[in-house]
Amino acid sequence: MRRFSRWFLDGYAALVLAYLFLPIFVTMLYSFNKPAGKFNFVWKAFSLDAWREPFQYPALVEAMKLSLRVAAISTAVATLFGTLIALALCRYKFKGSGAVGLLLVLPLTTPEVVLGSSLLSLFLGLNVPTGFATIVTAHIMFSVSYVALTVRARIRGFDWTLEEAAMDLGAAPFRVFYKVTLPIIAPGIVAASMLAFALSLDDFIITLFNAGSRITYPLYVYGARRAAFPAQINVLATAILLGSLLLLGVTVLWQHRVERANAGAAGTH
């Protein structure tokens, strides 16, 4: 009886994983489809055409470039802002830290459609035309919280007296930051910035409200349901998936090394 229930539980979990994986498999599979018409929704025949000509549609390429540019800028700014907040929350006891924590969580408990529409009403009220700058502004806004919370979770519990020890031993503040603080917080910052980049690249609802006439990759995909849905969309989606898996693998290996090095340093001194 007990063995049966365990077997049942494992089987159930495997089915849920299959459910999670199914659309991704279909997305990858259909990048090899030769669609009958303009819409790549029905399987017709195996073909490598879309992989041979991934940049066949200039509008799709432009949309992808815009998304990457938005993600790069918003991630850089949000990573800086979010890390500074996390450092302040972990290192200092100060009045208002509770309010800061609350302000970080609130954007996560507000539906995207409210975030997007309220920003649009701000821009409308200020007569700011929506476009590249407003997309980046919005992306920084929702990324700051994720970065701050991720970095804080990673560096909570770190022994900050190490910094004082380094200073007591005569290290200059910049050297302390470079040699002691940075190695400790770096894995958290890298994880947070990867999360912010992925969220920015994927964001649709908030962007829809604040994009004006600019078209990011998700907005292109959304519009494609009306005009044409080429297999190149699936090729780029598959490329993003494989690229981020590669990046993730490299980062995990690197983090293991940093953590081992940190543990080693703590052990010998």
Partner 1 sequence: MAGIGAASERQNRLAPYLLVSPGILWLLFFFVVPIVTLFKTSVAVPDGPWWEAYYVALSNYGGHFLRSLEYATAATLMALALGYPLAYVIAFRGGRLKNLLLGLVILPFFTTFLVRTFAWKTILGDSGPAAWLLQHLHLMQPGGRLLDTTMAVLGGLTYNFVPFMILPIYVSLEKIDRRLTEAAEDLYCSPTRAFLKVVLPLSLPGVFAGSLLTFIPATGDFINAQLLGSPNQQMIGTVIQNQFLEVRDYPLAASLSFVLMTVITLGVLAYARVLGTEDLA
Applying the rule CB under 8 A, the residues between 179 and 198 that interact with partner 1 are: 198
Query: What character string, x for contact with partner 1 (CB under 8 A) and - otherwise, covers 53-92?
Result: ---------------------------xxx-xx-xxx-xx
Q: Which helix (H) or strand (E) holds 182?
A: helix 182-202
**Residue 114 contacts partner 1 per CB under 8 A:** yes
Closest CB 93 distance from partner 1, rounded Å: 8
Q: For residue 169, state whether it binds partner 1 (rule: CB under 8 A).
A: no
Binding mask 122-151 for partner 1 (x = CB under 8 A): x-xx-----------xx-xx--xx--xx--
Number of Cα atoms under 13 Å in the Cβ half of residue 170: 0
**Beta carbon of residue 179, minimum distance to partner 1 (angstroms, whole number):** 20
Type of residue numbered 7:
W
Name residue 39's beta-bridge partners: 229
Question: What is the total count of residues that contact partner 1 (CB under 8 A)?
Answer: 85
Distance CA 53, CA 199 (A): 27
Kindly tell me which of 103 and 162 has the beta carbon lying closer to partner 1.
103
Among 7, 22, 53, 159, binds partner 1 (CB under 8 A): 22
* Burial grade of 50 (CB within 10 A; 0-12, 13-18, 19 or more): buried
Q: Is 44 in the site for partner 1 (CB under 8 A)?
A: no
* Euclidean distance between CA atoms 60 and 230, whole angstroms: 10
The reply on whether position 112 binds partner 1 by CB under 8 A is yes
User: Using CB under 8 A, which residues numbered 201 to 220 contact partner 1?
Assistant: 201-202, 204-205, 208-209, 217-218
Question: Is 257 among the residues that bind partner 1 (CB under 8 A)?
Answer: no
Of the pair 73, 80, the CB lying nearest partner 1 is at 80
Per DSSP, 254 falls in state H
Instruction: Select from 36, 10, 41, 69 the least CA-distant residue to 216.
Output: 69
Label residue 138 exposed, middle or buried (CB < 10 Å: 0-12, 13-18, 19+): buried
Q: Tokens 């007990």 map to which residue?
A: 2
* The two structure tokens encoding residue 218: 């998700």
